[in-house]
Amino acid sequence: MDLFNTVLERFALISIVDVFDILLVILLIFGVLMLIRGTRAVQVLRGLLVLAAFIFALA
């Protein structure tokens, strides 16, 4: 139950500004993804994500 109470305490600290900030970042990422959809940039982005995953796994 201690973990449950800790999680509830953390969620109680979230303000409306935090929620707005998260939504803004999500909308920006979604907008960029929709902008590059169907272009070669998607392949480049996938390659960078795979490279970042390998680096993260090796670190």
Segments making up each domain of the chain, as ranges: 2-58
DSSP assignment of 24-57, as one string? HHHHHHHHHHHHHTTSHHHHHHHHHHHHHHHHHH
pLDDT at residue 16 in the model? 93
pLDDT at residue 1 in the model? 72
Asked whether residue 11 carries a pLDDT value surpassing 90, the answer given is no
The answer to whether residues 51 and 45 touch, using CB atoms and an 8 Å cutoff, is: no
Q: What is the mean pLDDT of residues 31-44?
A: 93
From residue 41, how far is each of 34, 36, 37 by CA, in Å? 11, 6, 8
pLDDT at residue 36 in the model? 92
From residue 2, how far is each of 5, 6, 7, 9, 33 by CA, in Å? 5, 6, 9, 11, 40
24 vs 5: which has the higher pLDDT = 24
